[in-house]
A = this chain, B = another copy of it.
Amino acid sequence: MDEFDLIHRHFVPLAEGFPGSLNLRDDAALVDIPAGQQLVITKDAITAGVHFLGDEDAALIAKKLLRVNLSDLAAKGAQPLCYFLALMLPETTSETWVARFASGLAEDQKIFSLALAGGDTTATRGPLALSLTALGTVPTGRMLLRSGARAGDALYVSGQLGDAALSHWRLLPQPRLALGRALLEQNLAHACMDISDGLVQDLGHICTASGVGAAIEAGRVPCKADLETALTAGDDYELLFSASPDADETIAALAAELGTPLTRIGAITAEGNVTVRDASGDPITFKRGGYRHFGQKP
């Protein structure tokens, strides 16, 4: 396969919605940021054999890659704008594979209203490696942060936890973009992030960034899986946020409006680590721990 043919046939069509891509024909892309907006940027990399097996449907791999990045934008309340893609392809990659990969991107671009703006296609002697940089926008000064949690805040989580661990790659994450934007627009979330490495560990990041502690009520955590899986397994891509305890009714109304479950699972405390407590208020510990990095995604 010739690089330029490949780009022309499969990736230029993905860039048509974004004039600043210059049809992927220049050294760089040109991005306009509307007045009163700031740019939110996230970058994730995944490789075959670590983050996925490698023999999955190429469209699924493409969608997962895009969606994990969109989930980061969702957690910041950002509106997706465009993305940049680096494809490091093993020499055995067929053009059929590339076409299928691009078709996955095309489908998700429509769903999530963004376009390809640039990138790089190159060879690797190793397994497939992919990196995606996603750009979004927020009104200036309004990006949701990990660092705004306050003692006394209620803690919420969207959707259900542990599902991804049960179904692994068969389940595509659903980036909670509408929820993130609503939390920003309605000034509801004091702190927000997406859960990619497990609830307990990721809540630890909010606590560290905010200088607070947190207590999870085990019985409230929405899950189909067992509790340990729900609290420590990664790849959920649900939003975890803290909000004023007075906002409970507003948040319930938002959940109904979006059709997205939002469950109050605990509270932010003034001090201490993340604790998980049972119905009697006794702390629960897990074999897999909370703060250490235990997943394959380092």
Contacts and interface: CB of A to CB of B under 8 A. Distances in A.
Interface string A55-83: 00000000000000000110110100000
Interface in A1-60: 2-4, 22, 25-33, 35, 38-51
A123 to B, nearest CB: 5
B133 A47 contact: no
B26 A147 contact: yes
Contacts of A119: 43
Interface residues on A, range: 35 or more
B129 A124 contact: yes
A35 B274 CA distance: 42
Interface stretch (A105-113, A280-288, A290-298): A290-298
A247 interface: no
B123 A126 contact: no
A84 interface: yes
Given A26-B209, A29-B42, A47 B145 contact: no
Contacts of A4: 293
A72 B28 contact: yes
A31 B119 CA distance: 19
Contacts of A40: 28-31
Nearest to A133: B133
Interface in A118-154: 118-127, 129, 131, 133, 135-136, 138, 140, 143, 145-147
Contacts of A35: 35
A15 B292 CA distance: 23
A215 to B, nearest CB: 22
Contacts of A208: 25
Contact of A28 (B27, B76, B140, B209): B76
Nearest to A39: B31
A217 interface: no
Given A25-B147, A46-B122, 6 more contacts: A26-B145, A28-B42, A28-B78, A32-B38, A50-B125, A124-B129
